Structure 1
């Protein structure tokens, strides 16, 4: 949020400096950004002490949302969010947080309210001539980011309720709105295709993002898909590839843990992960529990595949 605030202030500075005109070249734009950053840094260095954010000095939606995030009570959090809503009545980030304050709501009620928020947000963007004009770049345009974040929240609710076909449709729409896919919706869509045993579209998605076809985010779900389709050789090839991409001991540890895991509480998505580490495998798993939790037998099968050849032979004898 703070990054978006800084970007918005920079764009505001440029608009005022250009008096509504567009910079004529990338060089002119870069010069204006550098000019703004110089002024911003001068202001920062002239303030020796950090000014703590309080309700008294809060001045915009981002300030009130930050105060709400750090509020000590729900009453206090609600008040800060209401202050943010007064400034921007149609800000979906604010409205979604206000909605989630009511812990008594059922998941289907939340889904319905998210649908209402998305309808409000879409209409607002259309009226501001931002919806069609931003098509394909929704996460690059600051004003459309709240809509994408709300869509992502809605997608999570659909997955949690096993509304697979609707979740697939929403995922495809999000990729259409934002081709760069900053939110990683391609990974959710892969998991959804695997759940639906839709090999055709799973392969199509891998071709669409061909530079990531060897990513664990694609290969592990595809291994599960081949397992469910009884394409044992294809599944085993992917398991062997994954063992090479991640350290063999790391991959075995992950598989062993998941082969006996029905513990919802321990399977939380990590706050961040490093590529080709256990943290990434945990993220792949926990970001789409709807797919992995019912497939413990798949992990048992992978354990067998990973056993050294001698042990497999001894077991047969």
Structure 2
């Protein structure tokens, strides 16, 4: 039995509580809005709590109705922290009620059925009305914009996508449009695409809204924003895709259909003519903007739209008046851990220089020299290395285009400064360019630490001066892997593990899937044996290796997957539930957050191991059945209460 379901069954029964639930076709809610979408075949699970008027609903493409019902019941109780069970559960389907009753038999919760429970039906009808009202496709073709306007917009969007301004800007670069006068909600804008997942423009009514959204300090249900994204034409609003085809409007690629919409809690709409004209001017101006103009912090472009000259003036306030470390922190942009390493090295130097000093006196000396804010400390600046170091660490504390400017200043002071070369490599998009820059950083590092490469093998991370080299090697390995050069990436990773046997960088998690992709199972097992640990990441890697060695009927493989599922069952639950969840910023062992990170890191390797994902899910279901039978057997032995 699922551990969460077992925990639910151990909760006290609330005599006054009644929950209602059911599974029905998603199309019942959405009507024809998703007729040509995979969602047309989805099932909708709906749970409601009468006593607290709580509602929980979620569509799902795959899964048996009972499994979906139980999965959403557990999510419902966890989401609302309901540490009790209802005395009654009413299900809208008789067969489903009977199946669910088997899970609650003898627990004090009664499961009944009613095809139309009042409260549940009211909720379903209300959801349907809301969905049908808000999910009507907000077609640009029916927005009141003229064909000439839409054609100009299509041309500008294609030019913008072709120019790829996200190679210079990311979501920390907030642009302010001064001319033309921005309509409401469109004064501030960021370029999307630096993360290579979503491309386009994000708009904000104020700079505060942007930073609060980035720091996740706002209730997203209350936000009203415009967004322009590029999507496959197959996912475009049908009438708009037909319009592009009928009038042969420009389209840079089939994956770059521009969708410009306004989103709010109660409404999604197409732009009005003035809003479309404004974004057309902005797209065309950004398409013609150079990297040098961006670095100037403020620039103006005169462009031709529908035969008329239009001027667009744009600025990046953070380049005109660069924020300090405190401002970035106030915005919610947390500094990177490596930003503390220079301070740590200075402390280490003081300790080394005063070897033999009494501990109490040494602590007093360190407190005297290093107490206070890290921002107020006076770092050396006599040599080119010192000046490059200062600029490099200022870059680490900065974000967006400001970081790149500081990196380049650092490299002007000292072109061989390792960390600055690493930061520059991290900032570029093209994989081959990344490889070139990371390889150069590695060469600089290996030249500077030639002696330590002979005398300190295995201890590199403990020597903080060598950490930039280790990051350069890791960046090179990851870039080689992304470029399909798996064996070259493996060679770098093996060298990282040789230099730093403690593997503080977690390279072991990356190298094993790569080794498996190259059918180097023996080496994968050797690394697995070198780092025995009790984490979900490790246990699922071990299960995959044993599956590849023995097949689906192997005893070792069976024990390995049982141990992995026992440690973190959320992995299989998330796999069954559908698309992977949003990547969390932090996690605890055994949690759903750990499962999300684990799936992100191992899914490609799992997919390359034929039958492994299906086998994991089958073993998960079998273990749940076995656990349920054992629990039921224990209850029968105890007899009635």
Per the normalisation by structure 1, the TM-score is 0.74
> Which of residues 348, 362, 365 in structure 2 aligns to 1:36?
365
> Which of residues 596, 619, 630 in structure 2 aligns to 1:305?
619
Change beyond 3 A, Cα 1:143–1:67: closer
Residue 226 (1) aligns with residue 226 (2): no
Q: Is this contact kept in 1: 2:571–2:599, CA < 8 A?
A: no
1:190-215 Cα distance to aligned partner (Å, 9 max, x none)? 222222333322222222223x2x43
SS of alignment partner, residue 205 of structure 1:
helix
The structure richer in strand per residue is: 2
Residue 64 (1) aligns with residue 400 (2): no
1:55-109 Cα distance to aligned partner (Å, 9 max, x none)? xxxx8656534543454652x3333123333555422221122244444xx3123
CA distance in 2, matches of 1:82, 1:198: 41
For residues 1-317 of structure 1, the aligned pairs below 5 Å read 1-15=338-352, 17-18=353-354, 23-24=355-356, 28=357, 30-31=359-360, 33-40=362-369, 43-44=371-372, 63-69=390-396, 71=398, 74=401, 76-86=402-412, 88-103=414-429, 106-126=430-450, 129-210=451-532, 212=533, 214-229=534-549, 231-232=551-552, 233=554, 234-246=556-568, 248=569, 250-257=570-577, 261=579, 268=583, 270-288=584-602, 290-292=604-606, 294=608, 297-308=611-622
SS of alignment partner, residue 179 of structure 1:
coil
Change beyond 3 A, Cα 1:89–1:267: same
Q: Is this contact kept in 2: 1:227–1:298, CA < 8 A?
A: yes
Q: Is this contact kept in 1: 2:439–2:472, CA < 8 A?
A: no
Q: Which runs of 5+ in 1 are unaligned?
A: 54-58, 313-317
Aligned length in residues: 279
Q: Is this contact kept in 1: 2:421–2:438, CA < 8 A?
A: no
1:29-69 Cα distance to aligned partner (Å, 9 max, x none)? 8456513332146x52xx8xx8699xxxxx86565345434
SS of alignment partner, residue 469 of structure 2:
helix
1:282-316 Cα distance to aligned partner (Å, 9 max, x none)? 2233235542454585323322221147979xxxx
1:262-292 Cα distance to aligned partner (Å, 9 max, x none)? x7xx675x43332222222222332355424
Q: Is this contact kept in 2: 1:159–1:290, CA < 8 A?
A: no
When Rg is computed on C-alpha atoms for both structures, the one with the higher figure is 2
Change beyond 3 A, Cα 1:216–1:33: farther
SS of alignment partner, residue 119 of structure 1:
helix
Q: Is this contact kept in 1: 2:517–2:605, CA < 8 A?
A: yes
SS of alignment partner, residue 307 of structure 1:
helix
Q: Which runs of 5+ in 2 are unaligned?
A: 1-337, 379-385, 627-641
Counterpart in 2 of 1:56? none
CA distance in 2, matches of 1:90, 1:29: 39
Q: Is this contact kept in 1: 2:341–2:464, CA < 8 A?
A: yes
Change beyond 3 A, Cα 1:284–1:89: same
| Deviation, structure 1 residue 122 | 0.6
CA distance in 2, matches of 1:71, 1:63: 13
CA distance in 2, matches of 1:173, 1:218: 21
Change beyond 3 A, Cα 1:231–1:31: farther
1:152-181 Cα distance to aligned partner (Å, 9 max, x none)? 111111222232222222111111101111
SS of alignment partner, residue 287 of structure 1:
helix
CA distance in 1, matches of 2:557, 2:600: 21
Q: Is this contact kept in 2: 1:91–1:146, CA < 8 A?
A: no
Change beyond 3 A, Cα 1:100–1:194: closer
| Deviation, structure 1 residue 217 | 2.3
Change beyond 3 A, Cα 1:140–1:30: farther
CA distance in 2, matches of 1:197, 1:72: 40
Q: Is this contact kept in 1: 2:388–2:414, CA < 8 A?
A: yes
